[in-house]
């Protein structure tokens, strides 16, 4: 994730720049790659009267996003009679699809002020569709056992005295700060420099690798300082403690090279093509109405990652058990 530059209110940052934690294709978050149609908006269905057309959903590379997309897809197909086509795309590439007509909707956006300016304000081929209901958090974490053993380690001002604990072969004579995919929204390299920390950012390469490292750090009591984010199912299974960095204030992250403050909170949102807004009908209304909690997303993500379910089966189980949540999303007939 790159540090977003978004408008904020009451300490919560509106989504306008996020990770490809954003928060690398997790092995557990594999989705079926279907052929995208070459035209935007809802395309016509043939044959079956129930078929209303095709909705093209971009799939970004983290399991929380996949959970959103799985539930929306299930409802579009089973409740409204649409066909949904999905394609795994990096975040920035997905935005390009609004202009080419290959993407109708991104269902979990973490910021991207620069892309919003280009595709919404300037090219006018995309629109914001409101929040997902999820509250996004990015920060640095240590396992609970480390916070118990070294109580002051959760204050970023004390990290240098513990740098030796975090040394690895990849970080050399510095402590290691483990990040995920390099394409995730992150200010970590700048933070290490600007906060004068004796650490080196090392990239695990994916969400799955980051989670595995966190699990091992808990199970084997191995020191680990790592970049992580919420919503994320792992927090419902194990305890990690966020390290406090200098508090975020308006403008402290305006220059990516000079960032010296913690990450803000994010309000995650949905982005659609302008054509989908204009022609999507009930499909667009459902996407617009979709709003759930971090707990909802974590539950579906857990089904996919840890309980051996396909995204389709995970969505079907959640939909069956949470009708009161999704029923209001369905457009009135």
CATH number of the domain at 312, please. 3.40.190.10
**Which of 245, 265, 285 is the endpoint of a domain?**
265
Dmax (CA) of the chain: 69
Q: Are 112 and 4 in contact (CB under 8 A)?
A: yes
258 and 174 both lie in a single domain: yes
The pLDDT assigned to 183 comes to: 75
User: Could you tell me if residue 159 is inside a domain?
Assistant: yes
Comparing CA positions, the residue from 61, 79, 272, 289 lying closest to residue 182 is 61
CATH number, domain with residue 182: 3.40.190.100
Residue 199 lies in a domain: yes
The token pair at 29 is 């978050």
Q: Which residues span the domain enclosing 244?
A: 137-265
**Spatial distance between the Cα atoms of 229 and 331, rounded to a whole number of angstroms:** 32
Model pLDDT, residue 174:
98
In the listed set 233, 265, 297, which residue is the last one of a domain according to the structure?
A: 265
Dist. CA 14–CA 5, nearest whole Å: 9
Shared-domain flag, residues 307 and 221: no
Residue 43: predicted pLDDT: 52
Residue 227: the pLDDT is 97
List Cα–Cα distances, 106 to 14, 127, 129, 286, in angstroms.
16, 11, 10, 13
Q: Is residue 3 in a domain?
A: no
Q: Is residue 1 part of a domain?
A: no
Pair (217, 250) in one structural domain? yes
| Pair of tokens at residue 182 | 């390099």
Q: Is residue 240 part of a domain?
A: yes
Residues 63 and 178 in one domain: no
Are 23 and 128 contained in the same domain? yes
The model's pLDDT over 285-310, given as tens digits with 9 standing for 90+, comes to 999 999 999 999 999 999 999 999 99
Residues 161 and 246 in one domain: yes
Q: Are 253 and 294 found together in one domain?
A: no
Residues 277 and 129 in one domain: yes
Q: Is 306 inside a domain boundary? A: yes
Please state the pTM of the whole predicted model.
Answer: 0.74
User: What is the rounded CA–CA span in Å between residue 82 and residue 50?
Assistant: 8
Bridge partners of residue 261, in order along the sequence: none
Residue 2 placed within a domain:
no
Helix (H) or strand (E) holding 116, with range, is: helix 113-116
Tell which of 265, 298, 321 closes a domain.
Answer: 265
- Residues (pLDDT < 70) of the chain are 1-51, 333
Within this chain, do residues 171 and 195 fall inside the same structural domain, yes or no?
Answer: yes
3-state secondary structure of 217: helix
- Let me know if residue 103 belongs to a domain: yes
Same structural domain, 218 and 282: no
Number of domains in the chain: 2
Q: Cα–Cα distance between 312 and 333 in angstroms, integer?
A: 25
pLDDT of residue 185: 75
pLDDT for position 38: 38
Do 174 and 253 fall within a single domain? yes
Write down the pLDDT at residue 51.
56
Q: Which two tokens stand for residue 47?
A: 């044959």
pLDDT of residue 112: 84
119 and 21 in a common domain: yes
pLDDT of res. 50: 45
Measured CA to CA, the distance from residue 68 to residue 59 in angstroms comes to 10
Output the pLDDT for position 29.
37
Secondary structure letter of residue 171 according to DSSP: T
């Amino acid at each position: 994730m790159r540090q977003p530059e978004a408008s904020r209110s009451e300490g919560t940052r509106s989504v306008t720049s996020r990770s490809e934690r954003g928060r690398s294709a997790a092995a557990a978050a594999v989705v079926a790659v279907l052929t995208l149609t070459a035209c935007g908006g809802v395309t016509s269905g043939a044959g079956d009267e129930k078929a209303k057309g095709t909705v093209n959903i971009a799939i970004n590379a983290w399991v929380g996003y996949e959970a959103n997309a799985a539930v929306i897809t299930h409802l579009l197909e089973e409740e409204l009679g649409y066909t949904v086509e999905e394609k795994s795309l990096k975040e920035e590439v997905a935005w390009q699809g609004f202009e080419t007509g290959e993407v109708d909707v991104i269902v979990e956006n973490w910021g991207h002020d620069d892309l919003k300016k280009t595709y919404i304000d300037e090219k006018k081929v995309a629109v914001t569709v409101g929040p997902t209901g999820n509250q996004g958090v990015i920060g640095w974490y240590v396992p609970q056992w480390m916070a118990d053993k070294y109580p002051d380690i959760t204050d970023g001002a004390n990290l240098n005295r513990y740098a030796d604990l975090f040394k690895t072969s990849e970080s050399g004579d510095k402590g290691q700060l483990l990040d995920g995919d390099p394409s995730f929204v992150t200010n970590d390299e700048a933070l290490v420099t600007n906060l004068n920390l004796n650490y080196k950012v090392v990239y695990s390469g994916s969400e799955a690798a980051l989670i595995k490292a966190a699990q091992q750090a808990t199970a084997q009591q191995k020191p680990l300082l790592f970049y992580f984010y919420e919503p994320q199912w792992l927090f419902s299974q194990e305890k990690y403690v966020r390290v406090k960095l200098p508090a975020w204030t308006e403008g402290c992250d305006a220059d990516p090279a000079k960032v010296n403050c913690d990450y803000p909170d994010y309000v995650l949102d949905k982005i659609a093509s302008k054509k989908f807004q204009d022609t999507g009908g009930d499909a667009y209304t459902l996407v617009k109405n979709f709003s759930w909690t971090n707990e909802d997303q974590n539950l579906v993500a857990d089904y996919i990652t840890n309980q051996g379910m396909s995204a389709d089966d995970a969505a079907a189980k959640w939909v069956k058990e949470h009708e009161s949540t999704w029923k209001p999303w369905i457009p009135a007939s």
